Structure 1
Amino acid sequence: MGKSVISAIGTAARVMNASALRAVDYLRVSTEDQTKGYGIAYTGKRTTAHILRKGWNHVGTYTDEGESGTLPWEKRPGATEIMDLAVQEPRPFDLVCVYETRAIGRQNRVFWEWVWKLQDLGIFVAVVDEDIDNTTEDGEARMREKANEAFKELARIRKRTQGGIQEKAEMGGFPGGQARYGYRIANKGHKGEQHLVIDDCDGGEVCSRTDPCETLHEAPILRTARQIAVREKGNWRKVALCLNAEGFVTRSGIPWTHANIRARLTDEDLLNARYVFRSAKNAQLRPDGTPVWGASTTLELPRIFTEAEVAELRAATAKPQRKSPVVGRTYTLSGRLVSPCGQRYVGGSPADSETLHYRCSGKAEDYAGGGSCSCPQIYAQGVEEWAWKSICDLLGDGDRLRTLADEWVGTTAKQQVDYSSRLASLDQKIAEKDDTIDLMMAVAAKQVTRQGLTGAAAEEAVEKKLKPLYEELEQLRRERAEIEVWQSEATKADQRAKDLQALAQTASERLDTFTKEQQAEWIVLLDIEVKVLETPPPMHRGLACPIGEWFRANQRQVPTLCDCTWEQVVELEGFPNGGVAPRQRGGLAPRTVLEAFLKKARTGVAWPELDAENGSTGLIGHWKRWSASGRWERVMEAMKGCDGGPVAPRHPLPQLEMTGKVRPGVILAVGGTVREHHAQESDPWAAAYCSSGRPSPADGRSST
């Protein structure tokens, strides 16, 4: 016997024993409802009164104020909190009370998935305004009937509204909403007479013929912008800067950005003086690509630009096609790197870029001339390798990894609705309805025969009597088809969770071989976030340091120069005066040169900075001579047995900190940090926490 059935039996037993049900009320209202006075306070009073009237114990209230009824419960905080409590053992309540069915959801699937999931857990739902609940089969049938009526009424209202708008557009009138930029609505408020006109100062409805016009008209802004765009040959940032300098602002009252003014001036509807109602890019579409609520309709508008001005604008702003970004490259941390400026780093490099990088989104100006952050780019491969190494360190324990994946799958399963039982119930009802129709058909045939009807008249009379039953049967079949679709989608989501579980069975043995796509999947699963704790060092763009490249190519550490080793070098190369004095005035001693080379290899310091530190301007010349003559190779061979350290990375990383969590509730407080730019190593990850928030017993460390 299933757990949900046992829970339902237990709840029913409490009812039979006259034990009061424990009820919580769920209060959701949309913004529209609140303006009509049906806010949280209004509905809360009525749900509370209903709970008291029924003799239930009121044990809690959960609210979603201003949340749309079209959103699934997982995206509403109050509804999600109820469901999180509902899966607990023992359950803290037996029934959820709402004021009306639309409080649960304004769409069929949104409504039923929440109600059914609660029902599977043995928790009932009560609706106040209809005084119905699903504690009985009759109550559940009434709830289904009332909910379906509400959904149908909403669909009818939407169809009538959209039909009226469509008719208005087809007759050439303005269908409503905001006017297109550069135009205003004439005869506003006069039903059937509204249309768009150019937003110029004409001394009419908006302006005064006697006083200076203070209205910021949109058509003159567009004309000015077009002239600047032609003059600046499509430099849109300069266009925006000029508009802002002249005090022009957007319709919302903020300064212009280059993207905003470019979108306005290159809009094909503006250039062709038209308004495409229900265009493919804006309308709600069917699977075949046609608009749901009516055919696309084009309204002709008066021209703001002449055809010659449009041609001039097109010619001036035509740009050669840019090289596209790298195709197929997965940036595993895109949007998950938090910049010191508070924005997020995103991945994206030009196709001809040799080094892939992350770029701070704060680089984009809020408006032209508004300033932007100065965060340097971050080397993509370096930060991704650091992050994945940290994840591998944590998840290298196979048992722990499987536990996390199992918990993920288990929680996903708890959130799934038992569609199979609903489909089985509908199949039974459809079969019963078919039997009822067969029986009623025989009865109706006898009735029309007694009435003396024959032929077509008899058939018509029988069809009329059976029509309500056929409609009910068709409704049941539609419901079944709809639930089959929901079940299919839920099965795909469940399969994805199981795929992750299967992946975890072998992942601990091959985490370091994962592709970028697999890494990205686990980073999402763990909800990884990396904070950049300091301003990143500038990303190197020029030629790579030749000294560092030598150590990387030869897989050598950078040796430490000591007096004993230097004596060997002096003897090998025959440096006069022990190699500690310059050979000529203003020069550098050979030992100073070698120490400078080794420092550059260890730290990646730039040549100019190294010259300034040593009071020289020719260290790069020394390197070229040492390298060309073979001296560098001989000296390095002499120092082969010396202790040393790692070579500086080609692209040093800033100090980083990582956090993550597994969505069912296992939180990972990740303390991995790059302590030294050249080391690129992370500390051990901090303790994992269970869903209760207490440290994992296996770790024993306190929270960081």
Structure 2
Amino acid sequence: MSNPMRDPVAGRPVPALGYTRVSGRVQVSGHGLGIQEAKLRAWEAAAPHHTLLKVFSDRGVSGATTRRPALDALKEYARYTSAERIVVSSVDRLGRTVGPTLDWARRMQQIGVHVIALDEGIDTEDPQGWALFRQSVAAAEAEWRRICERTSSGRDQKAREGGWPAGPPPYGYKIDKLGPKESFLSINEDEARVILKAVELVVDHELTYQAAADELNRLGLLTRSGRPWTLLNLHHRLTSETLDGYATYRKPGTGAKATRVDADGVPVLGPTITIEVPALLTPERVAALRGTQGRRSNQPRRSNQQYPPSGRILSACGRRYTGGGRPTGRLYRCQGTTGSEPCTCTYLEADAVENAVREKLSTAFSATALQALTCHDSTTAQRDRAQHEAREQHLLDAIHHHEQLIEKSLPQYVASGLDPVIAEAALSGLKDEIDARQHELVEVRRQLEEQHPAGKTEEIFSALRTWIIPDVHDFKKQPGSRCRVRTWHEATGTPVPATVDKAQWPEVLGILRSRHGSRHFKQTRLDLRSALNAMLHRLRHGSIWSELGAWGDPEAIRQRQRTWFREGTWQALMAHLTSDGSGEAVFSFRTIPELHVICEPLAGLPVLLRDPPLEISPPTTLLRSGTPADARAFHAWVLRAARGLETSQSGLPPAM
């Protein structure tokens, strides 16, 4: 029988990459990683032709997850180095689930890299070794599932006994007797104090959740993570079931933290368990708090001050764009993108839309004309703001005066023989007065924020009855995430050279050979000159990778460009190919399509914002009906009108 650990050619160098992993926090601080790496070093020392190029380690990462930073980095590193093996102490270090682990190993085999598992004596280059690898992965998954079942059973038992099974405690609580068998929730006094103060602001002082959040931030009572409170965050805390005296383990729902359920709505990992927790509030206070939560002002919502044109951007599908957000920024999305038959309308970057519309407004109208068009009584607005500013200053002066009485005057009275009982009553009264003034100050400042010029934009959109029509004809949006190579060309101003011909190729090839080893050229099916020309074509014309099939495998071309850019090869190639001053600017994607803006003032004809503004008579009755068909007709009419005006100033195309 063949040895699954044999070297393909005895004595031939075997360059390898090592990988270690531990899944628990205790293991990270222990010796697990050290023991594994010691085994890898022993393998390297066992034969002079064994070489570990680099060891990658995942710390505190489960083997059941498919996204592991170090393992992902190892795969990328192996693709562009001379490594032929990946060495692990045992198969279960690579993964605990059969499908993803075998799929990963097959992908590594496709680039000529095989797995060596030391404990099992496996080398997957050998057919017998591959068969043994499959069996070992299956055994690792079976063992992982047994561990999960035991862990789940233990957590269920702990929860039924009133203990806290796993995870961080709810806000207002801490975990006592932390250990493998006993952990219970008790009140976290600091966080409970914040909850009590928040309830006082909402119930007793009748502040909105937003005003209460602002006041907590002013007092320095921040969230558990040390960040300021927001309306939404405070709403979650004050509507939590823990205020009713219980917490739910494996709670079904729709949020990111909800437990997974099957088709019948039954939790997959075990039954839902209710755990009693110590009370933070009396039943009377809970009832009073719940009574405030029906107030409209306490419902989490986004203000249109954040998205002034929300609902006023008309899409080609007949729906409207509304404001929303994502981790990378504010957006306007078409309402038609959701539902059983979603439309294909592109999203619009909010800042770009708002800046473009403001520019059209400022270009088309002077400040005086804009005020006249909006029919906005600015005198009343200015008077209201002046009154609020005066009230703010009065409150600040009163707070300062009372603080000075407490700090300086009251001690002088006491020193002069004032009765201590009277002094204590005076001190209490002054503190109550300061507290009341501070609450009023919060409300005054909130009202001032609502009168901020950012809110003026919303008033202008509303008063002008502004409609925005995106012209998506020939609009090309950058696909996917931003390309680093394109960003580099834009930032440095480096032009993109023309197609590299056969006469230029020997010099280009010389640059490539000076920066990369022989494996870079042997283990690829790409024609490197064609691949380079595909990369240049994409940068000149804004093509997407999938459109480059005529030059070769698009994914392979993309990966090759990433390697060249990461290693500095791309920069060297561009310096050489543009040294004679040739080339053209990199293709620049527009962030939003052309926007046609219709302003319909309270008096007069609608105005198409151009320079200068032009009065038009679009069939606004189509828009008034509110049906998608009529909205599409209005959208099409405006686009035809705008395009007609671009070629002729004498009149408009016929209305629909």
Q: TM-score range by the shorter chain?
A: 0.3 to 0.5
State the structure with more CA Rg. 1
Larger relative contact order (Cα-Cα within 8 Å, sequence gap ≥ 6) = 2
Q: TM-score, normalised by structure 1?
A: 0.45
Instruction: State the TM-score, normalized to the length of structure 2.
Output: 0.48
